[in-house]
Structure 1
């Protein structure tokens, strides 16, 4: 059975690196922006905080806001918000191209975008390419970001995810092993992906150790439960696998992981003796 570790991070995780939202004031800015857009009255006050805050529940509104802002000289922040709005709206390919272009153009033109922010933009580009189903371009984005900020953990994880999507479990396993050895407190997704890579290479005991570590930190992590179920199924523990996948459905019934758990449960039900 195939692992289904999500190739796309949640948008709030991305936005947290790009801009720190200003709580209630940002929500007031969203309301003001929508009122101005609807009425056409009053002087528009452009704000990256307002634009980013709109994306989660109104990506099309954020897209239009960002486009209008660009027409009024919004520059880099407007382009960034526009790309993330497209990503949330489901136009991953265009979003990835815009994010890549933004990171590369600022580098070429000597823009003063801090290396940390440029790395974030390339991590977002990598995630967008993965969501678009183009892992080779995701790897290229991650590689460029790492050339700007070597050792960036988010980019290392994004690169490993792109390698797994290209069936390069061997290289992903090497890089993730190095990452978790040097930084034991690294993101849980690194341990989950390492378990996936090891499982794909037939190293089931090591895979179980790493996914168990992830679940020790976050017992209800759906991606970790999904992966442990796959490992258990590979080890012949059908009951344990079924239990993990059912827990995924109970915890996150509308998630990508739940979709994959349903598929795995259906395969198991159809052929309970399958390896």
Structure 2
């Protein structure tokens, strides 16, 4: 995920501000915005509840956009997706007023968190707002395609992915997602073309291996499907991709005699 890294760029733009007294209790009592943000991110990954309280204190001490962003990330880590998405939307609104160049990335995050919350209309609305500002933002086009696919709008998802691939023809994640969309639209041949191209660019891409396995199984190539899904377990066993590969393998075993 791009969630936990992109916002470091904001701290660079804030480097000229005065140092803050640490709300998290640093040994030297003082940190820059950047180091405070790094500490907050680390705590978010390890103890999100403590990170949330620390980020609130930092925000109230004058931490500005980075502190508010860390509040949102802590909420995401706590799986309080609705609250996190609203926090990101409020942050984006204030960043727009301040003329921040990171407005669209924050809108992108808000859209993704609404997606996690399964609030697809909200996710689509936020993503569309971002694309109104940056119509050729490839990451956001891909993200909106995933949102549209969730509600069965595969034609809309295809249009976003097609534009993303016109802007960057070797974007392997867009190729993988477009392969899935082609499959849902009933064109397995083009789906296989896209996923094979994605794997030629990134041979160990778990999502692409899963998708090719699905296409192989549909065409009766069960052994090849099994090989792709087993490869995903080797590459990413304790991930959502690994879980999906495991489900496909279990279904393949159940249906092997049918």
Same fold (TM over 0.5): yes
Q: CA deviation at 1:248?
A: 0.9
Distance 1:160 1:250 in 2: 28
Q: What residue is the counterpart of 1:55 in the other structure?
A: 44
Distance 1:178 1:34 in 2: 45
* Residues 226, 244 of structure 1: 8 Å contact kept: yes
* Residues 22, 58 of structure 2: 8 Å contact kept: no
Specify whether residues 71 and 156 from structure 1 end up closer, same or farther in structure 2 by C-alpha distance, changes over 3 A only: same
SS at match of 1:219: coil
Among 109, 130, 141, the residue aligned to 1:145: 130
Distance 1:106 1:95 in 2: 16
* Residues 136, 166 of structure 1: 8 Å contact kept: no
* Residues 21, 49 of structure 1: 8 Å contact kept: no
Q: CA deviation at 1:87?
A: 1.0
* Residues 126, 139 of structure 1: 8 Å contact kept: yes
Q: What residue is the counterpart of 2:73 in the other structure?
A: 84
Q: What residue is the counterpart of 1:211 in the other structure?
A: 195
Among 231, 239, 242, the residue aligned to 1:255: 239
TM-score w.r.t. the length of structure 2 is 0.86
Q: CA deviation at 1:196?
A: 0.5
Specify whether residues 163 and 135 from structure 1 end up closer, same or farther in structure 2 by C-alpha distance, changes over 3 A only: same
Among 44, 69, 75, the residue aligned to 2:58: 69
Please report the RMSD computed on the Cα atoms of aligned residues, expressed in angstroms: 2.4
Distance 1:34 1:76 in 2: 15
Q: CA deviation at 1:42?
A: 6.3
Q: Give the 4+ runs in structure 1 shifted more than 4 A.
A: 32-35
Unmatched tracts of structure 1, length 5 or more: 1-9, 23-31
Specify whether residues 218 and 21 from structure 1 end up closer, same or farther in structure 2 by C-alpha distance, changes over 3 A only: farther
Q: What residue is the counterpart of 1:272 in the other structure?
A: 256
More contact order relative to length (CA 8 Å, sep ≥ 6):
1
Distance 2:157 2:44 in 1: 32
Q: CA deviation at 1:142?
A: 0.7
Q: What residue is the counterpart of 1:112 in the other structure?
A: 99
Distance 1:21 1:122 in 2: 14
SS at match of 2:111: helix
Cα-to-partner distance string for 1:157-193 (whole Å, 9 max, x where unaligned): 111110111111121112212221232133x211111
Aligned residues: 246
Distance 1:82 1:51 in 2: 9
Describe how 1:83-232 pairs up with structure 2 within 5 A: 83-107=72-96, 110-114=97-101, 117-186=102-171, 188-232=172-216
TM-score w.r.t. the length of structure 1 is 0.81
